[in-house]
Chain A
Amino acid sequence: MTFAPVHASRPAFRLDLSWPILIASALVLCALILAPLGWLAYFSLVDRAGDFTLGNFRQLVSTPAFVEPLITTVVLSVSASFICCVVAAPLAWLVARTDMPLRGAIRALMTASFVTPPFLGAIAWELLAAPNSGLLNQTYRTLTGAASDEHLFNIYSLTGLIFVTSCYTAPYVFVLVANALERIPADLEDASAILGGRTWTTARRVTVPLALPALLAGALVAFLQSMTLFGAPAILALPAGFHTMTTKIWSLFQYPPKPELAAAASLPLLVLTVLLLRGQHVILGRRSYAVVGGRQGDARITGLGAWKWAALGFSLLILLNPVFLPYGALLNAAFSRVPSQLIGFGNLTLHNFEFVFFELSATRLAFRNTLILCTLAATIGTVIALVVAYLTSRQAIAFHRALGFLATAPVAVPGIVLGVGLFLTYTRPPFVLYGTLWILLIAFVTIAMPAAYQQLQSAFRSVSPDLEEASRILGATRIRTLARVTAPLLRTSVIATWCFIFVGVIRELSAAIMLFTSETKVISVLIFDLNESGDLGAIAVLGLIMLVFTIAVVALVNRIPGFGAGVRLRNN
């Protein structure tokens, strides 16, 4: 009997590419974020002649024209964040954990509100609730016979702005909380029930604490989104005669531009964000939230009984605000001769479509640019966010905390200021990118990074490292483990992140408005331009096309074979 020699199934030496890739990702992140922030920091500390000064900050704190917008912004962000949590968290629970009818439809409609850019929502709400021409106010006057200058709603007010901001920020909270709730396996709650915990005890002691990180992350994202929002305030606050920080900063770039003041003005926002992130860390710091282990049960569904119809009513009532009413108003405006009149035989027209498709010379270019940028930014952004979230949540390299901060930092920088930072960085050698799509791509990836990172990081936090350690013990490299074990476990989160960024790019206006040139115009800028000259019919048409287009792409991505196959798709 002879023994065949045993051949090694693996080569004796294999290059582990993990470290170079990890380091490269870290460097990319530094370049994306540190370069523009560095320029901003520099500009905030120099005067016109380039000499060191603290005068910019002195001017900031001593001028009411700066202090008032700052207060307005804080009020706006706190209110919007609070409203989002109060409204979106119950809705997420109803959709994720109860037997409420039409749950799938409600979720899809929340998606529709998420893909709606806030500036488009703001314009739609102008059509609905402008004090005199708003459709709702007209209806109110018709019903009650009130005088022609009385109104029920005035969207041109701080309340109106808070309302619209909440409408289009709530989906962030909704998605995060719904996903977290679905990830909580029945075992834990069953264990609580078996040990004698009643429904409310289980909810209080098990479910809520496990969903808390997602709710806090949602509140944080909502706060920061509201704080850095530019389009909605520009559309609603300026007619009302007040500024938020972002519109104030934007006005500083009117000719003659004052970048040094704008840079200084963005610092309070940065400080606020850092404090909030610290706060989140302190609250979540020491607990473990790993809910996805080797074995997993499905989420438990609560039966609502007859209450389920009330729950459905509540959900639909909420969806009235970000979806039904605004899109109704946009549809009406798209086909109506006068946007503020309801369609009838007298004023039905296809003129707006004709204008957008055959007269408006920027339409095709803007659509092409937007599509290219969305796809590239989503893909590149997801990859970077995945790697960074992995590095920080697994504490894989030294300085991982700094890396996490870097990935979150752009959220504190209003897009418009980031736009200027990028403008200053990439209009001079060695990298002259202004005038190309690259500069917009960099901006969009940078802006999307915090949300993408937060989402993937909270997903990583809920996947127990045991599985990865098993893979590593069996000889796989870090990258291989990430690709073969962790990423598939996070599949839905990865798809969600891709869609997050894709949609985020379509929503993005504030950096684009600083960085576009005539050749690199995107749809959001086109719509903003149209709004400034009041061409509401054309905006309605563009907005509707954009919505259909976005939903088609998101649906398509969720059906890529092998990527989402076999998994219930929950994160769109």
Chain B
Amino acid sequence: MPRRLSRRKLLLSTGAFAATAFASPIRAAPPEPSQITPQLVEAARREGKVVWYTSIDLPVAEKIAKSFEAKFPGITTRVERTGAERVFQRIGQEYASRIYAVDVVNSSDAAHFIVWKRDGLLAPYVPEDVARFYPPEHKDPDGMFASFRVWLSVIAYNTNLVKAEDAPRSFADLLDPKWAGKIVKGHPGYSGTIMTATYQMARDLGWDYFEKLAKQRVMQVQSSADPPKKLALGERAVMADGNEYNIFVMKEQGQPVEVVYPSEGAPLIVGPNGLFKNAPNPNAARLFQSYCFGVEAQQFIIDTGGLRSMHPGTTEKPGRKPFREIKTMRDDPAGVDKTADDIKARYAQIFRV
């Protein structure tokens, strides 16, 4: 069943959005690009805080928040970090009760922005950098959101437990009996990254791939940030999915992990940032949004977060495989939007949790 129907039903049953759901006019063009003006900074400072709901791995998210606070003193940033699917549920739950706590949202399931936009919850705002530098496929034509971060869901292994020559090279390799009981993976009911990855893999490899993978006695964790950490602990030797950016950061800290770009292509994950119409701190939200898409913040998420940026002014960190050299799967938020509920149900059936 398409996600739209069940969501609409949820909202209608709680009676909150019946009036606003379809009231928002379809925009023909994005609003004028906005710069960071002294007036905006001053207004943001008067609000004093910004609340950012995100699914980025917590230490990375808090670092981004701290860098914003350092640049604009007097505005505290509260990070609400949980898995993207739960961020989505949380906002739905809060909004249905008319609790407007979130200013800016960042989700690793880009399909969520389709839903929020359709429900008329987002506010149009285009930071100057987005208008000038971002490729069209990474910004909403109506100016509601843009790709704050891009990364991959990858295979990785613990270098203490697996020799480089024995490491899997493809998703198909993971079905080898020698990996039984040694694989860890995230959950699409929790993580937007894994939801997106599961969609792309089911589309390109077929659901029977997951049926075979489930027979490998997989250790099931929730967040896509957790499989890399389970690798670093030495709890499992290989991860079947999870964040490339965690692996980068850990490897550069000297932890025994190594990334593998599967030969079938690595699922491509896009995490947009958007503003809510009912944001309690609208000016701080705009300032934060503008900051997030500036070259400084984008370089920061590359350097300290291990993420990829769509800002052409940034440079990739040496030692990491350049983005354009990696074979990726095709991302398709609209496809995820249509099949998300089905994916969750099917996944639960196959992996039993």
Name A's B-contacting residues (CB within 8 A). 48, 65, 130-133, 148-149, 156, 237-243, 247, 251, 253-257, 338-340, 355, 359-362, 365, 423, 427-428, 432, 434-435, 517-519, 529-530, 532-536, 538
Kindly identify which residue among B7, B79, B351 contacts A241, using a CB–CB cutoff of 8 Å. Answer: B351
Mark the stretch among B38-46, B83-91, B319-327 that contacts chain A: B83-91
Contact A361 B92 (CB under 8 A): no
Name B's A-contacting residues (CB within 8 A). 3, 6-7, 9-10, 14-15, 51, 53, 57-59, 62-63, 65-66, 76-83, 85, 88-90, 92-94, 96-97, 99, 101-102, 161, 181-182, 187, 189-190, 217-223, 225-226, 228-230, 232-236, 255, 341, 344, 348-349, 351-353
In the complex, which residues of chain B have a beta carbon less than 8 angstroms from the beta carbon of A238? 187, 220-222, 353
In the complex, which residues of chain A have a beta carbon less than 8 angstroms from the beta carbon of B352? 65, 241-243
In the complex, which residues of chain B have a beta carbon less than 8 angstroms from the beta carbon of A340? 233-235
Which residue of chain A lies nearest to B6 when distances are taken between CB atoms in the complex?
A256
Residue among B85, B190, B233, B349 with the most chain A CB within 10 A? B233
- A-B CB contacts (within 8 Å), total count: 144
Known A254-B344, A530-B58; judge A361-B235 contact (CB<8 A). no
Kindly identify which residue among A361, A432, A434 contacts B76, using a CB–CB cutoff of 8 Å. Answer: A361
Given A256-B341, A535-B58, 17 further pairs, Cβ under 8 A = A48-B9, A239-B221, A241-B351, A242-B352, A253-B89, A254-B85, A254-B89, A256-B7, A359-B59, A427-B96, A435-B97, A517-B101, A518-B78, A518-B90, A529-B58, A532-B82, A534-B228
Kindly identify which residue among A48, A133, A256, A535 contacts B234, using a CB–CB cutoff of 8 Å. Answer: A133
B87: min CB distance to chain A, Å:
10
Complex Cα distance, B1 from A49, in Å, reads 16
Contact B219 A257 (CB under 8 A): no
Query: Can you give 22 A-B contacts (C-beta < 8 A)?
Result: A133-B230, A149-B182, A156-B219, A238-B220, A247-B353, A251-B348, A254-B85, A254-B89, A256-B7, A257-B10, A338-B232, A338-B255, A359-B59, A361-B65, A423-B93, A427-B14, A428-B15, A435-B99, A518-B90, A518-B101, A532-B221, A536-B233
Which residue of chain B lies nearest to A49 when distances are taken between CB atoms in the complex?
B9
B211: min CB distance to chain A, Å:
14
B203: min CB distance to chain A, Å:
21
A416: min CB distance to chain B, Å:
14
Complex Cα distance, B59 from A81, in Å, reads 39
B200: min CB distance to chain A, Å:
20
In the complex, which residues of chain B have a beta carbon less than 8 angstroms from the beta carbon of A435? 94, 97, 99, 101
Kindly identify which residue among A132, A242, A434 contacts B235, using a CB–CB cutoff of 8 Å. Answer: A132
Kindly identify which residue among A65, A255, A518 contacts B89, using a CB–CB cutoff of 8 Å. Answer: A255
Which residue of chain A lies nearest to B236 when distances are taken between CB atoms in the complex?
A132
Residue among A251, A338, A340, A533 with the most chain B CB within 10 A? A533
Contact A534 B10 (CB under 8 A): no
Complex Cα distance, B6 from A156, in Å, reads 34
Which residue of chain B lies nearest to A247 when distances are taken between CB atoms in the complex?
B353
B12: min CB distance to chain A, Å:
11
Contact B82 A255 (CB under 8 A): no
Complex Cα distance, B221 from A355, in Å, reads 23
Complex Cα distance, B6 from A144, in Å, reads 56
Contact A130 B353 (CB under 8 A): no
In the complex, which residues of chain A have a beta carbon less than 8 angstroms from the beta carbon of B182? 149
Contact A534 B89 (CB under 8 A): no
Contact B82 A254 (CB under 8 A): no
A140: min CB distance to chain B, Å:
14
In the complex, which residues of chain B have a beta carbon less than 8 angstroms from the beta carbon of A530? 58
A531: min CB distance to chain B, Å:
8
Contact A518 B190 (CB under 8 A): no
Complex Cα distance, B38 from A60, in Å, reads 60
In the complex, which residues of chain B have a beta carbon less than 8 angstroms from the beta carbon of A148? 161
Complex Cα distance, B201 from A32, in Å, reads 47
Contact B222 A532 (CB under 8 A): yes
Complex Cα distance, B85 from A183, in Å, reads 53
Contact A338 B58 (CB under 8 A): no
Which residue of chain B lies nearest to A134 when distances are taken between CB atoms in the complex?
B235
Known A255-B85, A256-B10, A517-B99; judge A532-B223 contact (CB<8 A). yes
Complex Cα distance, B12 from A48, in Å, reads 12
Contact B99 A355 (CB under 8 A): no
Contact B79 A535 (CB under 8 A): no
Contact A338 B233 (CB under 8 A): yes
Which residue of chain A lies nearest to B232 when distances are taken between CB atoms in the complex?
A338
In the complex, which residues of chain B have a beta carbon less than 8 angstroms from the beta carbon of A536? 229, 233
Complex Cα distance, B230 from A362, in Å, reads 24
Contact B97 A427 (CB under 8 A): yes
Contact B226 A362 (CB under 8 A): no
Complex Cα distance, B62 from A360, in Å, reads 6
Task: Pick the 5 closest A-B CB pairs, nearest first.
Answer: A534-B229, A534-B226, A133-B235, A133-B233, A256-B6
Known A132-B236, A133-B235; judge A242-B83 contact (CB<8 A). no
Kindly identify which residue among B189, B225, B230, B233 contacts A254, using a CB–CB cutoff of 8 Å. Answer: B189
B80: min CB distance to chain A, Å:
5
